[in-house]
Chain A
Amino acid sequence: MKQDWTTMSLLEELSCAFGPSGCEDAVADIIRSRIAMYCDEFLPDPMGGVLARICGTGTMEEGAVSPRRLMLSCHMDEVGFMIRSITEEGLLKIASMCGSDTRVLAGRRVLVGNAAFQVRGVFGVKPLHLVKSADRGSALDIDELYVDIGAGSRQAAEEVVHVGDFGTFESDFVSFGQESGYIKGKALDDRLGCAVLCSVMRRVYEMEKRPACDLYFAFTCREELGISGARTAAYRIDPDYAIVLEATAAGDISGTPEYRQVAHLGRGGALSLMDRSTIYDRPFTDWILETAMGENIPCQIKQYVSGGNDAAHIHKSRTGVRCAAVSAPARYIHTASNVVAKKDIESIEQLLMAVINRLYNEKK
């Protein structure tokens, strides 16, 4: 039975799903249901991640494990916040889990609740008219922010939400721009990685041949908090190679000096050489780059040292893992309006397929 979804339709579904760090179950459920028929087994993950395996040639028997294991990893969680307290008036005070930039929160529409149930709210803002003119240029302090769900009293609020509940942006999935070539949504960092990996699993599974080595697909939790589920996933899988699929902050906008633009939308997946927490395995990265060039798949090198991702933990797992990272350039990450180019998502999927296909024919 073939499932009726495309990378893009799955991305839309995943982007709209509720999954702030620590509350990824709704996203995990979608992913599990989409890939169940495209993998040989699920591995247990106490951290709440989804770990799936596609057996390589000759490792189909019970208990057999290929000596060579490739791990493909992405993270399910998105930036969000947690309800810290509920005021007498029924307003929610929050603890941010998405960094210190409150400017992208104020005024925003959000969803609060848990994996099963959420209500809509708004980050209320003291009207500009009542702000001293000297302060109108200052961003709001996190302590000034509150979420209004329309409750009117603490009691009414407590009927639907609780202290400790999670929250994240509410944001439409929008196709826009030239030839509708761009998409905007929340959590594209890193649901696009999740969608691409699901598609790759389907394509690999539907091929006639088995891959040359065991493939492990890890959909991890809590990457945005830095206490990564990838760490424990890598420990369980014990791969010798890993590719991390991510979104990287693109600075290709007017007024940014070229050398700080990092990566450009539309030029393909960005391969990292070094970021703030990992120096990537150069021969492996070069091999991927060479694969892309051989197949004419657009691909770029990330031209700045910034950020960090699950590779931080994966490459130091156990006795070390040769790690590479492919990121979709994304503008305005960690806001409700991530913008990515559809072309880049396609290029990344193609690239991963080319990498896996090449594994069939040669040993790295």
Chain B
Amino acid sequence: MYPDTKELVTSLTSIMSISGQEEQGRETLCSILQPYFDEYIPDPSGTHVFVRRCGKQGAPKLLLDAHFDEIGMMVRDITEEGFLRVVSIGGLDRRILPAAEVLIYGKETLYGVIGAVPPHLQKAEDYKQAPKIEELLIDTGYDRETLRTLVDIGTPVGFYEKTASLLGSRICGRSMDNKACCAAAVLGAAMAKRENMAWDLYVTLSAREEAGMASGCSAAAYRIRPDAAIVTDVTFASAPGVREDESGKMGNGPVLSLSAVTDRRLTERLLQLCRQREISCQTCVDACDTGTNATMLSLVGAGIPTAVVSVPITSMHTYNETVDTVDIEYAAALFAAAAEEEGLRS
């Protein structure tokens, strides 16, 4: 039994998990994922660890990491007139923020609109400038006094857009980075047939990747001590302005990283598995840095051989990241195959 991909992505994206806030959605997350795993281990770092065992004594551990956190904002100040000022959490794209819709996770979840300067106050040259984050105002429709009872300095603020369908198997919405890959990891675990599994599979939905520290992933891995690891994260899909050789084509399957910082043998094995099982996949060169948790993860403890399997998305770090669910399903198939492959590291 495994879940419908779009439904799974939709339910994962609806859990707010702005970097540093990953634990808030624990109950919801566990209730969604409980059918597919044997065990849940909360990690003090905020990382959620879900385990699916193969049932064999002394089986090696495969860690499948997908960061669970998402970019967002945090309340910095409430103005006299009752507007919120914010700082960014993660690499927010300020070119798309005016008039964007947000949710403010205070005592109650409030709706808000990021203010845009009215046209009569703008000069033509202003249109060419993206506003600075510190200049932005969030309009909640509350006066200052009431707002102060509901929202505090430090309250997280996230985007409003829910997951929606485009043509065919494509979907769009907030936080496809990285809920699409979380879904791929969960789906992969669910698809692995227990009788065939050669590995105990540890799925870490890790904290604080967008905050630039990979701390959630490393901490969990330190406790788990896996024998091998696969990091799954989003990568750039081919689109106008994106070079073809630094991106993957949407719908053509997951993108495997060829990099100096990942384990080449593990990567080659995964590519081989794709060929054997007729799983569509593609490769991409990330010479010195994959821009994922992989670099830090591979350095944990005495070192962990790590590969990177990515799902291509467009419009990364906007509130309408777009992904093809077919790519999620191909990635999941690869993860299931890996968990069933005894000779993954030979």
Contacts and interface: CB of A to CB of B under 8 A. Distances in A.
Direct contact between A and B in the complex (CB less than 8 angstroms)? Answer: yes
A238 B42 CA distance: 74
B322 A150 contact: yes
Contacts of B135: 255
Contacts of A109: 161, 164, 172, 320
A175 B129 CA distance: 31
Contacts of B318: 106-107, 125
Contact of B94 (A100, A137, A333): A137
Main secondary structure of the interface of B (DSSP, over half): loop
A344 to B, nearest CB: 13
Interface residues of B, number: 69
Interface string B145-189: 010000000000000010011111010100000000000000000
A312 B168 CA distance: 46
A254 B324 CA distance: 41
B141 interface: yes
A137 B115 CA distance: 17
A331 B99 CA distance: 10
A136 B120 contact: no
A99 B119 CA distance: 10
Nearest to B166: A150
Given A101-B127, A130-B242, A184-B101, A262 B320 contact: no
Contacts of B324: 150
B112 interface: yes
Given A122-B315, A144-B241, A307-B120, A129 B137 contact: no
Contacts of B332: none
B98 interface: yes
Contacts of A184: 101, 111, 113
B120 A140 contact: no
Interface string A246-281: 000111111110001010000000000000000000
Given A107-B319, A307-B120, A335-B116, A127 B170 contact: no
Interface string A297-336: 0000000101100000000000000000000000111111
Contact of A128 (B93, B110, B117, B140): B93
A139 B99 contact: no
Interface stretch (B77-85, B256-264, B338-346): B77-85
B282 to A, nearest CB: 15
Contacts, number: 213
Interface in A80-101: 87, 89, 91, 99-101
Contacts of A107: 93, 95-96, 100, 315, 318-320
Contact of A152 (B96, B242, B250): B250
Interface of B: 79-81, 83, 91, 93-101, 110-113, 115-122, 124, 127-132, 135, 137, 139-143, 146, 161, 164-168, 170, 172, 236, 238-243, 246, 250-251, 291, 314-320, 322, 324
Contacts of A130: 236, 241-243, 246
A125 B322 CA distance: 10
B273 to A, nearest CB: 26
Nearest to A143: B240
A255 B137 contact: yes
A262 B117 CA distance: 13
A129 B291 contact: yes
19 contacts: A89-B238, A108-B96, A109-B161, A125-B96, A136-B95, A137-B129, A137-B130, A138-B130, A139-B95, A139-B130, A150-B167, A177-B140, A178-B142, A252-B81, A304-B120, A332-B116, A335-B116, A336-B101, A339-B141
A146 B240 contact: yes
Contacts of B140: 176-177
